[in-house]
Amino acid sequence: MTRTAAAGMAMWMFAATAAADTDMPAKADGLYGSIGLGVGARPVYDGSGDEKIRLMPNLNLFYGDALFLTGMTAGANLWKHTAAPGLNITAGPLLALRRGRDEGDNAALAGLGDIDLSLDAGAFIRLHKGGWQARADVRKDVSNGDGGTTVNLSAGYGRPVSQKLRLRASLDTTWASAAYANTFFGIDATQSANSGIARYEAGSGIKSVGASLMADYMIDREWGAFASLRVKRLLGDAADSPIVADFGSASQVTTNVGIKYRF
């Protein structure tokens, strides 16, 4: 996959995870879901103090209750279990695109080189009861050498507040391995020489905590509008990295608003 093609794929697969239609009723078979387009602001890189406005495609596709593609993540519900009345558990494998970084994106990255788009593989488990949902997944880079591993945990609650409007709030946290932390936040000897930034070695640990608020509004049977706000705080070695502590910000805010078509 060429860098241009990969970047294009990432752009068309990118969607704010917070805006995913995770509460759409599962159908027995066939393809269903929503496709949309929004505009939003997000940090130029993970840990940046600057934001960039861009179009954000919103993609949520499902095939029956077995396969899903939401944002940059695809998976299969291979294991399903009803643990108690109303408590459903699903688990299975997943594939996810991991966004890279270009040193030309921001002056703070000059001399650090590019980080290529990569493919993560892993597994997930999801618990769902009423409007409550909890999820855990593990992801490891399988395309760019040892780009590291992350473990992601999230929990949230959603409910309709009117016939047309539904709100969802969630909390999340991410653990990152040393390989991942050094890929995105470390400064090796070559990077230090090229950028003038002191060497920095990042270790494993809790990378971030975050909170999201999402809104879905039904315009009619097929069309809807969505909006999301996500606030994230980098922690530990990620927050202490020179590209965050000296040239960026540990506080990260992403916003998105748009329109989508459901089918």
Is residue 139 a contact partner of residue 94, using CB atoms and an 8 Å limit?
yes
Is residue 89 a contact partner of residue 80, using CB atoms and an 8 Å limit?
yes
As a whole number of angstroms, the distance between CA 161 and CA 90 comes to 27
As a whole number of angstroms, the distance between CA 210 and CA 231 comes to 6
As a whole number of angstroms, the distance between CA 197 and CA 191 comes to 8
Is residue 64 a contact partner of residue 29, using CB atoms and an 8 Å limit?
yes
pLDDT of residue 85: 86
Residue 194 is classified by DSSP as H
Q: Which CATH number fits domain 3-262: 2.40.160.40, 2.40.280.10, 1.20.210.10, 3.40.1440.10?
A: 2.40.160.40
Q: How far is CA 160 from CA 35, 37, 211, 215, 221, in A?
A: 21, 22, 19, 10, 16
Is residue 240 a contact partner of residue 210, using CB atoms and an 8 Å limit?
no
Domain ranges across the chain? 3-262
pLDDT tens, per residue, the chain with 263 residues:
434 334 333 333 333 343 344 555 566 679 999 999 999 999 999 999 999 999 989 999 999 989 999 989 999 999 999 988 889 999 999 999 999 999 999 999 999 999 999 999 999 999 999 999 999 999 999 998 788 999 999 999 999 999 999 999 999 999 999 999 999 999 999 999 999 999 999 999 999 999 999 999 999 999 999 999 999 999 999 999 999 999 999 999 999 999 999 99
Short-list 58, 39, 21, CA closest to 255? 39
As a whole number of angstroms, the distance between CA 17 and CA 96 comes to 12
Tokens of 263: 């089918």
Q: Whole-prediction pTM value?
A: 0.87
